[in-house]
Each structure stands twice: as C-alpha cells, then as structure tokens.
C-alpha cells in the first residue's frame, strides 16, 4: 500500500443505544466521543440507530422508530388531510 493516502484503520466501538448493545471492531470511522471498553482501554464510540440486536430481521420483532406524529406532519405539509 502507498503510505499517506489511506485513512487510519483502528479499533472503534459501535453502540446501539435502543437495544443497549455495543461491539468492538476495526473501522476507519472517527468520533470525538470515547468510551472505556471491557478491556480497560478507551476507544472512539459511534452511536447507530439499528444493529443486529434491534433490527426486525434478526430479532423477529417489530420496533417503532417513528414518534411524534410524523404521518400527521407529512399530511399537513403536503395537503393530504383526513378524508
């Protein structure tokens, strides 16, 4: 590999807050936030919306991601009121 043209490849923790699940892997992603992992070392942490612990395909359960009346907001914005 040529030196100086590739991003740094390092250990990163990906955390799914909704499922209270985290895993350590290697990635080129960066983050300003850090977390202390089980081995005592500090790693950058990336928060994700969906992981294998919360995705309906892997869990077999449905989860509601949308809250606060998004459908009603869409209907108000684009003039599709109740019929």
Is residue 23 within 8 Å of residue 11, measured between CB atoms? no
Checking 21-28 for CB contacts under 8 A at 24+ apart, the result is 21/51, 21/53, 21/54, 23/51
Q: pTM for the complete prediction?
A: 0.62
Low-confidence stretches of the chain (pLDDT < 50) are none
d(CA 38, CA 50): 22
Count of other CB atoms within 10 angstroms of residue 63: 11
- Could you read off the pLDDT of 63-72 as tens digits, one per residue? 565 556 677 7
Predicted confidence at residue 18, as pLDDT, reads 77
Q: What are phi and psi of 56, to 5 degrees?
A: -60, -30
């Amino acid at each position: 590999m040529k030196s100086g043209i590739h991003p740094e490849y390092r250990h990163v923790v990906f955390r799914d807050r909704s499922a209270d699940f985290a895993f350590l892997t290697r990635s080129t992603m960066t983050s300003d936030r850090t977390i202390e992992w089980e081995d005592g070392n500090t790693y950058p942490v990336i928060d994700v919306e969906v992981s294998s612990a919360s995705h309906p395909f892997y869990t077999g359960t449905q989860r509601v991601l949308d809250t606060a009346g998004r459908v009603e907001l869409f209907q108000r914005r684009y003039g599709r009121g109740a019929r």
